[in-house]
Amino acid sequence: MSKQLTLGFSPCPNDTFMFYPLVHNLVDTGGISCRERLEDVETLNQLALAGELDISKVSYHALGHIRDEYALLRSGSALGRGCGPLLVATDNIDLSDLRGRTIAVPGRYTTALLLLRLFDPSLDNFIVMPFNEIMDAVLKGNADAGLIIHESRFTYHGYGLHKLLDLGEWWEAETGLPIPLGGIVARRSLGAETIATVERALRSGVEYARSHPEQAAHYICEHAQEMSAEVCAAHIGLYVNDFSSDLGDEGVQAITYLLKRAETAGIIPESAMPLFAGSD
């Protein structure tokens, strides 16, 4: 008998690309069907914090707040190199001059904001808004700088904005590790067996998508919010990689270290729960 689970992911091309095979039953789901819910990443973070989804894409920052209730899956992550959030402004402001000035950010629980707080804990004047409104807010003078994610890193030049900081470059230079941005979590109460079934199906889906990239094109475009085909392709190329199929030792090390840094800084609570299900 089929077991239906709620599945949350974003309309960003990397997510729709990876989840297309799973939600369209192009791979063996092990008897699980998914009722999809597409929302921006900060909305997904909030839904997971409220415990409203069985499986969801979340920011790794948000994971730090929900580890007691949700376990991380080894497939489906956005994690890599050269893909970090950027801090931009209309002028080349010195970073030391940003203290006390307003910074538009894409969400309280985004990894982008976590990285910025780790980079400079003195920055604290944040305005939260949807990620796709940040560049306009900076241009209109509603914020002194903006923390941009997703496809904005490919388009900010066209807005006449200047890059002040690449938090991915900073993280990689600081740690030597890839940047953990977001991952897929499953509610622990589903049980280890169901979570393992979901994980197998998701891994199969990611591998299917990477082997048949053309099949998801219509689904991706349907949700891509007027993004050009070139930007869609660049987005997928940057955020879908070998770590998406399986985190591997290096990916796990990067996530564990990020969460430990956030714990030490007092940004997320400590948790005695293992990162993955079945690791107790």
Closest CA to 179 of 127, 120, 241: 241
pLDDT of 220 above 60: yes
Q: Look at 188 and 230; give whichever has higher pLDDT.
A: 188
Domains and CATH numbers, the chain: 3-79+180-264 (3.40.190.10), 86-175 (3.40.190.10)
pLDDT score at 1: 46
- Mean model confidence pLDDT for the chain: 94
d(CA 50, CA 244): 26
pLDDT in tens, 154-169: 889 899 999 999 999 9
pTM above 0.85, yes or no: yes
pLDDT in tens, 133-161: 999 999 999 999 999 998 788 889 899 99
d(CA 190, CA 55): 10
Contact 40, 10 (CB under 8 A): yes
Question: For 85, left (φ over 0), alpha (ψ -120 to 50), or beta?
Answer: beta
pLDDT in tens, 171-205: 999 999 999 999 999 999 999 999 999 999 999 99
Beta strands in the chain (DSSP E): 3-9, 32-38, 55-59, 70-72, 78-80, 86-89, 103-105, 126-128, 145-148, 162-166, 179-187
- Say whether 150 is catalytic: yes
Contact 165, 86 (CB under 8 A): yes
Question: For 32, left (φ over 0), alpha (ψ -120 to 50), or beta?
Answer: beta
Question: For 225, left (φ over 0), alpha (ψ -120 to 50), or beta?
Answer: left
pLDDT in tens, 106-127: 999 999 999 999 999 999 999 9
Considering the candidates 150, 162, 218, 223, report the single residue annotated as catalytic. 150
